[in-house]
Amino acid sequence: MAKRNLRKIPEAIWRRIETFTQDDVIAGCAKRLRPEDFGRYRHLGLKRDGDDLTIPPPTVPSPKRGSYSRTNVEGKEIVRRDLPKEGRTFSAETPNWGDWSNGSHTVSWTREVYPRQFVPAKGLELSVELLERIGEDCVVKFAVDQVLSRRQANFESDLLFNLNLLQENVEAIDVFPSAATLAEYTRTIKVDWEILPPGTVEEVMRRMLAGKRPVPAEKQKQMEERLKVMAKLRPVAYVAGTSGFLRYFGAQFGDDFVAFENLAYGNALYVMYEEWRTLSQRSRIELLRGSVDGFRRIEHREGWEERLGVLVEKYREDTK
């Protein structure tokens, strides 16, 4: 059974960090694994069959591994009952005269609610590396692929998150100085966006997938379904991440309204209310960090298409 989550960073970890001669730190650990130990890490894709060893590429851990693994994939909403209530406007699509066959209209209302803080999904990956073989045993390094700088204001909270992510999936924690600088890491996680002109869903998908690593057929089908919903709302352009992996794709409805999906974990759609040039400069981890007023998260539950449509129409009314 996995150990419990950490409520704070252990003193032993702080003492170890104090010995580092650089500011950049990663959450990682090295474990010596016997042949019979490998079954405990099958969920990460690490496998052994005799002398044959399968080392997986960096992957996002399953949300089933624990609360931090789930937040890493899905994010988490916190009701701030420690803050005063504030007025918030809600909208919903309602049938005319109680019958959808007569068409529909948008109804808006305002009520006092506690502020909600959304902790965004980080999508952090866990990497696995074989360090050496000692007889039948293997020394394997596990690390969260995010370099943290001790100079950053959120260093402690980010480190605690990464240590818990490591513990849920590896059942051990440690820290190491990073061989790569923070600037070098940031360049590898930058989301470079390509803006694509409107077209048929088939044409848009072909452009988005061109030059990318192969996308499984079930993911392509899901992508097509989501793009069809966006296409009905008449976007001014489509957007896609330009890295080797097609992680992000979506549609642009204005300079400060972009709706996009994460192809790896498509449990929600994000609507960003920010000036496009500012949004396009963010790293993938920074992308959803900020005020809840700057974005909306729409889970893919029944009626999500209508909720997106309401937001698009409201945006168009407000920007006339």
pLDDT, position 228: 95
Supply the pTM of this predicted model. 0.62
Least confident of 57-61, 96-100, 281-285: 281-285
Residue 125 CA to its chain's centroid (Å): 10
Q: What is the C-alpha separation between 160 and 157, in angstroms, rounded? A: 5
Average pLDDT, the chain: 83
- Classify residue 4 by burial, with Cβ atoms within 10 Å: 0-12, 13-18, 19+: exposed
116-162 pLDDT, tens digit per residue, is 877 778 889 999 988 888 888 888 899 998 899 999 888 999 999 99
215 is written with which tokens?
A: 């996308």
Average pLDDT over residues 22-43: 91
Backbone angles phi, psi at 83, to 5 degrees: -110, 155
* Range ranked top by mean pLDDT from 260-269, 292-301, 304-313: 304-313
177-234 pLDDT, tens digit per residue, is 887 555 544 444 455 677 888 889 999 999 888 877 778 888 889 999 999 999 999 9
pLDDT, position 49: 87
